[in-house]
Structure 1
Amino acid sequence: MKRSIIVTALLGVLVLPGSAQKTLPEMRGIPMEKKGEDLSEWGVGDSFEDIFEYEEVSASSSLKPSGINRYDAEMAHDNNLKTAWVEGVRGDGVGSWLEYRLTPIQSEGTDRAITGLTIFNGYRKTQAAWKENGRIKRLRIEVDGKPYGTILLADTPRYQSVNIGRIPLVRNKKVLLRFVILSVYPGTKHRDTALTELGFEGTGIY
């Protein structure tokens, strides 16, 4: 028997099939002002992410290269606003995922945790590319294989900040984060869905 997914709007949570007790909080991307010279220095200098060793960034699929343009998973984490991960399945990419395997390596600091995401949605290379390709509307976050929450992103090329609560970090213990596309904002020309950048914010660097 098929069980329907119930969305409880007032609580802002997603109720999983077959269990009224398992709920996923819904978080939102908040568009932020970040223009001009700020964008030219995106990802430059010290940051929370310096405590990680990135062992692997992978995706369920990626669009095939076109000339010098690549669209694989690393493009969503290269600090370059002219590149993007683009899923490679037929259709709009619902069900496709981007995955990070992270290992905290810094010994300094206590009470370390991932508390936020920084996201540039869509293919931000040009205004035309952003409009013509699909953008992510809703994502599901999975932590070490378990559902953690959903994210509703704004349909904007601007930088978005997402508060995701606390995902604790333990030195030298791997953390697996998967981001699954649940729905999209369709492009005007292509059915491909793109993500320019996804980064992490947190506490306990020093």
Structure 2
Amino acid sequence: MRTLFALPLLLVSLVSYSQKVPEMQPALGHLVEKSTAGEAEFIRKQRTCEELWRKTSYQGGHEKLSVNEKKVLATCDEEFESYWDILGVGCSWYCGGGQDTTTATSVLKPVNGTNYSASNAHDLSYKTAWIEGAEGYGIGEKLTYHFPADNPRITKVIVVNGYVKSDQAWKDNTRVKKLMMYLNGKPFRVLNLQDTKKKQSFSFSPLGNDNTQAKSLSKKHTPWTLTFEILEVYPGAEYKDTAITEIYFDGIDVH
């Protein structure tokens, strides 16, 4: 990674159109608190819960559990298969949407076997992140999401800012302060991000193609894109590398 030797002031984009595009403030969600120690504890508890679930699968099994085992069972959570899951195992907009590819204008080279590819920003995992590979803070670098014509429409963009796999990774790496959001290549909104590990969501009127009445998608609609460009950043304590753990979506047309 590119080491930050002197902590400069926040970088401001020179892109003039950022002042002409409507700006949005995020609605904050829950705080993302992850660590390797937390993952180890999750795995330990998951194994204990799986054993308790196995015991209760037999007739009268629950009554045979000890008082302590019943207390532990009451805390078991079947919502997440992995400690790093963003959505969990329940049904969501991704049951019918999100079948896209993600590309970037640059990517940081792998470090010690860890990659920072564009796809990391849409793998629904808190463990990975896209990190741009340009010189400096990555001002002007972009992530583009490519959607097929029949993809369900999007009404919410959720951003997990920075590299949230640990407190240290989040502090050391640079985070985004402003993102320019493009719809099909045209400036659409400026997303103002807070310097926090909380989820940050932005709501819109439906984006994409209305396929509810379409009879021939191949003739009626075309693929579409959403692009996110780094305009300003919060400098990291150690590295100039700008990281985004996840940009993902919610929407309609699924159920």
TM-score (norm 1): 0.80
Match of 2:167 among 127, 131, 148: 127
- Per the alignment, in what secondary structure is the counterpart of residue 22 of structure 2? strand
Alpha-carbon offset, residue 55 of structure 1: 4.2
- Per the alignment, in what secondary structure is the counterpart of residue 139 of structure 2? coil
Distance in structure 2 (CA, Å) of the matches to 1:57 and 1:119: 15
Match of 1:26 among 10, 16, 23: 23
Report how many residues are paired.
184
Counterparts in 2 of 1:81-160, with a 5 A limit? 81-103=126-148, 105=150, 113-160=153-200
Residue pair 1:122, 1:136 contacting (<8 A) in 2 also: yes
CA distance 1:153–1:127, shift in 2 (3 Å): same
* Structure number with higher helix proportion: 2
Match of 1:182 in 2: 231
| 2:126 is aligned with 1:77 | no
- RMSD over aligned Cα atoms: 2.4
Match of 2:4 in 1: none
| 2:86 is aligned with 1:42 | yes
Match of 1:109 in 2: none
Alpha-carbon offset, residue 105 of structure 1: 4.0
Match of 1:67 among 102, 105, 112: 112
Give the partner amino acid of 1:72: S
Distance in structure 2 (CA, Å) of the matches to 1:76 and 1:25: 24
Residue pair 1:52, 1:104 contacting (<8 A) in 2 also: no
Alpha-carbon offset, residue 174 of structure 1: 1.1
Unaligned 5+ residue runs, structure 1? 8-13, 16-23, 107-111
Match of 2:11 in 1: none
Alpha-carbon offset, residue 158 of structure 1: 1.4
Residue pair 2:159, 2:246 contacting (<8 A) in 1 also: yes
Q: Calculate percent identity across the aligned residue pairs.
A: 34
Q: Based on CA coordinates, which of the two structures has the bigger radius of gyration?
A: 2
More deviation, 176-185/166-175? 166-175
Give the partner amino acid of 1:83: T
Alpha-carbon offset, residue 147 of structure 1: 1.0
Give the partner amino acid of 2:144: E
Residue pair 1:62, 1:71 contacting (<8 A) in 2 also: yes
Residue pair 1:31, 1:156 contacting (<8 A) in 2 also: no
CA distance 1:135–1:160, shift in 2 (3 Å): same
Give the partner amino acid of 1:29: P
Could you list the per-position Cα deviations for residues 174-203 of structure 1 after superposition, in whole angstroms to 9, with x for gaps in the alignment?
A: 111110110001101100000001101112
Could you list the per-position Cα deviations for residues 54-110 of structure 1 after superposition, in whole angstroms to 9, with x for gaps in the alignment?
A: 34210000000012211010111111111100000010011000001011547xxxx
Residue pair 2:175, 2:243 contacting (<8 A) in 1 also: yes
Residue pair 1:28, 1:163 contacting (<8 A) in 2 also: no
CA distance 1:6–1:55, shift in 2 (3 Å): closer
Distance in structure 2 (CA, Å) of the matches to 1:76 and 1:157: 15
- Per the alignment, in what secondary structure is the counterpart of residue 182 of structure 1? strand
Distance in structure 1 (CA, Å) of the matches to 2:224 and 2:101: 11
More deviation, 140-149/83-92? 140-149
Alpha-carbon offset, residue 148 of structure 1: 0.8
